[in-house]
Chains A and B, each alone.
Chain A
C-alpha cells in the first residue's frame, strides 16, 4: 500500500446517511448486503447489483457515487425490494430518498435545494409567502375596496388583470425552467454520457418519452401496482392542465380571445377533466400510501409536498371557478388569489422538489436508451462489485 492509494480512497460523509434517513425514515445501515433486493429488482442485470450497491453507497455516505449514477432514476419505486428485504431496510424508500438527495445536491441554488430537501420544516415558507405576496400585490395595485365591490359582470380578468399574472407567475415559471434545464445538463454530464450523434440522442429521447407516457415500466410492477394508476391519472391530468393553460395563454396573447369561457366550451371541458383527473389521482395515491406504506412506500414530506401542492392548485382552481359561477365574489377573489400564490409555489418548486423528477427520469431513460443503442443491454454495467 502506498500513499497514492490512500488519496484515491473514497471519503465517507457521515451526514449523507443521516440525510437519507431523514428523507426516507429508513435506515440504510441495517442492510447486510444479502442482495435479495437485487434478485427481485427488474432493473438488476448481470453483476450490476442494483440496488444493493446503491444501498452500500447510502450506508457509507458516498455522495459522489449517488450524484453520478443515473440508474437510481430508473427505479420507479415498485417496492418489490422493500417487501422482500429480510432486514426490513426498505430499499425502495431509500432509493426514493437518494433521488431526493440527488435533486437537492444537483439544484442550481444549493441553499434552496437544501431547503426543499427539508420541506417538512420549510413548507409554510414556500407556500404562504407567495400567497401573502399575491394578496399584497393585489392590495397594492387594487386596494381593499375591490373585495367588497360587487360588479354585475364579475370576471377575474377585471380584478386581476392578466399583466399581473404575466409579470409574476410567468417569469418564475421561465426561471424555473431554465434552472431545471441547467440542472439537467449537469446531471447528464455527471452521468458520463456515451458519445452519440444528435439523431441517436433524439431517437433515445423519443423512446424515453414513449416509455414514460405509456407507463411501460410502472405497469410491470407487482407490489405497488395501484400507484401506477394514480400516477397515470396525475400525470395525464397535469399534462392536460398544462396544455389548456398554454393554449389559453396563447389565445389571449395572440387573439381577441376573452375570458371567462362558458362552462361548455371545449377548452373549458378539457381543462376541467384534467383537473378532475389530478384530484382523483392525487386522492388515490395519498390514500394508498397512507394505508399501506410498506407496499406503497414511505410517505416522505418531500413526496407529499409535490402531490399536495398540485392537489391544492387544482382544488383552488375549481374553488375559484365554482365561487365565481355562484357569484360569491369576495370568496371567489380570495380563493383565486390563493390559487395564484399556489401556482407560484408550484412553479418555483420545479427545479427543487419532487416536481423535477419528471425531467430527471426522462433524461435517465433517454440515457438508458442511448446505451442500448450502442450495445444490446438494457442497463449499463457499472464497475463490477467485488465482494
Chain B
C-alpha cells in the first residue's frame, strides 16, 4: 500500500492531551499522503469526509488513529469496502493512559501512529475466496440433543443427516418412562421428551434419519465435508457430534460397596426397574422392598473414579423418588448426599420432592454398604451432627455418574504413530519409548467415532475427563475442529433443559459456519475475517511444525509432510505463522514483515535514563481488551511502553524478539491468556505455545549477548485489568534495574 491517508481523532479529550497538528506533520514525514483531523472521527460527517478524501486523493489505504479497535466498530467498518483500513489506538494506548508530561504522551501517540503507517506499507489487499458450500449438516447421535439439533437445523431449511448406531432414536432417555421436569412449574416429573422429538424428526422432510449406521469417514472442510457411512456417501457443510454419555456400571463402584449383594443397583438399573411404573421387587429375593436408600455421587466426585459431578444424577434420584411415591406410596426413601446439586429451577423440584410423604435427605459420606441377612446396611459418616449413622434398608440405589461417549482423536493418532515407530524398529530406545507411550494411553485406545480424515487424528480432541474440548467460556459448542460442533453430555455434564438449549446453540453455530464459509469468512473468534493464510511453499522444509501446532486441524499433510491448507477449517489465528521457522506463512494484513515494520517504526531515544522503551505484544482477544478496560477505569500505564496487538500469543514469532532488541527496545513483554486445563486462550494453545517458544529463545539472546530477562510472557484474564497494568509496571521496574539495552544506538 503506498497511498495512505491518516485520520486522527481529536475527540474524547485526545486533542487536549496531544498536539494534533504536530502528529499530523509527523505522519506526513513518515510518508502519508494526507493527514486530517476531526473532533469526532466516529461521527457520520467525519465518515463522509473520509470517503471524499479517499476519492479525491485516490487513497488505497486509510489509517484511523482514534479509540481502541474494539470501540465504534460500526462507525468504521463501512470504510472496509472502499479501501484497506487499519485502526490504531491513541486514546486508550496514549492520551488517556499516560499520567505524564505532554511530551511523553505526544511521543507515545506519534509512535503508535508511525507503527500503523509502517504496517499498512507492507500490507496486501485481501481477496475474498468464495466457497461453494453444501447447506446440509451431519448430526451424529439421535439422542435428545441430536434430535433437537436436527430439528432446529431442518427448520432453517437445511438438509440434515441424522446418524444413529442404535435401531431407534432416543439415546440414553429412550428407555425411561419419565424424566426430571425441564420446564415450568418444575415440581413433578415430566414425560420423556424423546417421543415428541422422534415424531418431530420423523415428520420433517429435510431430515434423513439413518439408524444402525456408523461413520466410516469424514473428509474435507467446512462447507464441503464428504461423509461416508458405508451404505452411502454424501456431502455436508458442517457436523454436530451429539453422542451423549453412558452411566457408569455397577462394577466400577469403589470397594466400599458389597457388590455380591444383588440389592445394590445403579440409578440406571433402577430406571429399568421403574420403566413399567408398577411395583418393583428386591432383585435378591423377589419381595417388595419397604424402603430404599439412594446414595448420591456414588463413584463420583471425591468418592471415586469420576472426579466430576455428572449434574444429572441428583435430579434423576428425585424423579425416581416421585415415581416410587406414586407407585408404592408406603415405601420410605432416604437420600444420602454430599450436596444436592439441583441448581437453578431444579430447586423447585427438590422442594417439591421434600413435600412428599416418606422422603428424607441425609447429608453425609457413605463409608460402607454391606449385606446383613436379607437387608443392606449403609454406614454413613460426617453427618451434620458430626456423628456416624447406620441405616438398614431393603434396596440401595447408587446414583452413579455419566461418562461421555467420545473418542480422543489425538490419543488415537498418537497410539497409531507409536505403533508405526515400533514397526519401523529403527532404534531400541525409540521402540521402548513408543511402547511406554502406548501403555500410558491405553485407556484412551477406543474405536473412533467420527473417523475424521485429519492429520491430527480421527476424532475431536478432549480436554479433561474425556469430555470433548470446547471453548467453555466464550464459545461453548465450538470444538477444536472448525465446522464440527459438540452438543449435550458429550461435551459437558448437563441436564435435559441444558441439553436442549445446547443442541439449539450448536445447530445455530453449524448454520453460521456454513453461511460464513459461503462468504469466505472465518468462524470464531475472528468472525467475518476474509483473509486466508498464504504458504510460500517453495521454501517449505516439511518440518511439520505448522501442522502440529495448528489448534484447529486446518492443515493436513501429504505423504512427504508438506502442509495442505484447508481455508474453511482455518480460523486465522496465525499460530502457523508463529510456528514456521522458515517464515513462509503470511496473511494480507498480518505477516512477519508487517510486524517487523511496526517494530522498527518508532525512533528509539538513545538515552536510557529518561526514556527507556518497552514493547508489549498483546493478544487481541483478552489482554488488549483487559488493558482497554483498565484505562477506561482510569488506571495509568507507564509512558515508556509501546503496544502491538497480535491475533493470538501463539502467532508470535521469535524473530520479533531479536528485531525488537536490536532496534533498541529495552524489553519485550508478551501478554496472553491463561493456559492449562482451564485455559482461556481463544485459540486453545496459543498462550502455551508462546511460553514454550520464549523458553527456547535463550540461545538467540545469548548470541546477541543479552539477558534473557529482557523478554517475559505473562498471563492475563479478560477481567484482570488491574493485573495487566501491574504486570507492565513490574516489567518496566525490572528492566530499569537491568539497565539499558546494550544494543541501543547501534
A interface residues (Cβ-Cβ under 8 A, vs B): 1, 5-6, 8-12, 14, 17-18, 27-30, 32-33, 53, 56-57, 59-60, 62, 87, 383-387
Given contacts A17-B360, A29-B354, A29-B359, contact A1 B381 (CB under 8 A): yes
Q: Provide the residues of chain A in CB contact with B391, threshold 8 Å.
A: 12
User: Is residue B387 contacting chain A, with contact meaning CB distance below 8 A?
Assistant: yes
User: Is residue B535 contacting chain A, with contact meaning CB distance below 8 A?
Assistant: no
Given contacts A6-B368, A29-B360, contact A386 B386 (CB under 8 A): yes
Bound CA–CA A27/B388 (angstroms): 23
Q: Are B385 and A30 in contact (CB under 8 A)?
A: no
Q: Within residues 375 to 398 of chain B, which ones have a CB less than 8 A from any CB in chain A? A: 379-392
Q: Provide the residues of chain B in CB contact with A62, threshold 8 Å.
A: 385, 389
- Told that A10-B390, A56-B384, A60-B385 touch, could you supply 12 new A-B pairs with CB distance under 8 A? A5-B388, A6-B388, A9-B389, A17-B360, A27-B354, A29-B360, A30-B354, A59-B361, A59-B362, A60-B383, A386-B386, A387-B384
User: Is residue B355 contacting chain A, with contact meaning CB distance below 8 A?
Assistant: yes
Q: Are A33 and B354 in contact (CB under 8 A)?
A: no
What are 29 A-B contacts defined by CB distance under 8 Å?
Answer: A1-B367, A5-B388, A9-B379, A9-B388, A9-B389, A10-B387, A11-B389, A11-B390, A12-B389, A12-B390, A12-B392, A17-B360, A29-B360, A30-B354, A30-B355, A33-B363, A56-B383, A56-B384, A59-B360, A59-B361, A60-B360, A60-B362, A60-B385, A62-B389, A87-B354, A383-B386, A384-B386, A385-B384, A385-B385
Q: Provide the residues of chain B in CB contact with A28, threshold 8 Å.
A: 360
Bound CA–CA A60/B367 (angstroms): 17
Task: Give the Cβ gap from B697 to chain A, nearest Cβ, in Å.
Answer: 53
Q: Provide the residues of chain A in CB contact with B291, threshold 8 Å.
A: 14
Bound CA–CA A1/B379 (angstroms): 10
Q: Provide the residues of chain A in CB contact with B334, threshold 8 Å.
A: 12
Task: Give the Cβ gap from B572 to chain A, nearest Cβ, in Å.
Answer: 51
Q: Are A53 and B360 in contact (CB under 8 A)?
A: no
Q: Are B390 and A56 in contact (CB under 8 A)?
A: no
User: Is residue B332 contacting chain A, with contact meaning CB distance below 8 A?
Assistant: yes
User: Is residue B726 contacting chain A, with contact meaning CB distance below 8 A?
Assistant: no
Q: Are B390 and A9 in contact (CB under 8 A)?
A: yes
Q: Are A10 and B388 in contact (CB under 8 A)?
A: yes
B interface residues (Cβ-Cβ under 8 A, vs A): 291, 332, 334, 351, 354-355, 358-363, 367-368, 379-392
Bound CA–CA A32/B359 (angstroms): 13
Closest residue on chain B to residue A384 by CB atoms: B386
Bound CA–CA A33/B364 (angstroms): 13
Q: Provide the residues of chain A in CB contact with B351, threshold 8 Å.
A: 30, 87
Q: Are A33 and B381 in contact (CB under 8 A)?
A: no
Bound CA–CA A81/B413 (angstroms): 63
Bound CA–CA A79/B334 (angstroms): 28
Closest residue on chain B to residue A12 by CB atoms: B391
Closest residue on chain B to residue A10 by CB atoms: B389
Q: Are B368 and A1 in contact (CB under 8 A)?
A: yes
Closest residue on chain B to residue A7 by CB atoms: B390
Closest residue on chain B to residue A383 by CB atoms: B386
Most chain A CB neighbours (cut-off 10 Å) among B363, B381, B382, B384: B384
Q: Are B390 and A387 in contact (CB under 8 A)?
A: no
Q: Provide the residues of chain A in CB contact with B354, threshold 8 Å.
A: 27, 29-30, 87
Q: Are B389 and A53 in contact (CB under 8 A)?
A: no
Across the A-B interface, give the 4 residue pairs with the lowest CB-CB distance, nearest first.
A386-B386, A9-B388, A29-B360, A9-B390
Bound CA–CA A28/B390 (angstroms): 19
Bound CA–CA A8/B387 (angstroms): 9
Q: Are B390 and A6 in contact (CB under 8 A)?
A: yes
Task: Give the Cβ gap from A333 to chain B, nearest Cβ, in Å.
Answer: 49
Q: Provide the residues of chain B in CB contact with A385, threshold 8 Å.
A: 384-386
Closest residue on chain A to residue B358 by CB atoms: A18
Task: Give the Cβ gap from A377 to chain B, nearest Cβ, in Å.
Answer: 20
Q: Provide the residues of chain A in CB contact with B358, threshold 8 Å.
A: 18
Task: Give the Cβ gap from A214 to chain B, nearest Cβ, in Å.
Answer: 35
Closest residue on chain B to residue A58 by CB atoms: B360
Task: Give the Cβ gap from A44 to chain B, nearest Cβ, in Å.
Answer: 16
Bound CA–CA A385/B384 (angstroms): 7
Q: Provide the residues of chain B in CB contact with A56, threshold 8 Å.
A: 383-385
Task: Give the Cβ gap from B189 to chain A, nearest Cβ, in Å.
Answer: 19
Bound CA–CA A17/B392 (angstroms): 15
Closest residue on chain B to residue A21 by CB atoms: B357
Q: Provide the residues of chain A in CB contact with B386, threshold 8 Å.
A: 383-387
Q: Provide the residues of chain B in CB contact with A5, threshold 8 Å.
A: 381, 388
Q: Are A29 and B361 in contact (CB under 8 A)?
A: yes
Most chain B CB neighbours (cut-off 10 Å) among A11, A17, A28, A29: A29
Closest residue on chain A to residue B387 by CB atoms: A10
Task: Give the Cβ gap from A172 to chain B, nearest Cβ, in Å.
Answer: 39
Bound CA–CA A378/B711 (angstroms): 67
Bound CA–CA A5/B360 (angstroms): 24
Task: Give the Cβ gap from B701 to chain A, nearest Cβ, in Å.
Answer: 56
Bound CA–CA A14/B391 (angstroms): 9
Most chain B CB neighbours (cut-off 10 Å) among A14, A18, A87: A14
Q: Provide the residues of chain B in CB contact with A8, threshold 8 Å.
A: 388
Q: Provide the residues of chain B in CB contact with A87, threshold 8 Å.
A: 351, 354
**A33 partner, pick from B379, B380, B384, beta carbons under 8 A:** B384
Bound CA–CA A53/B387 (angstroms): 12
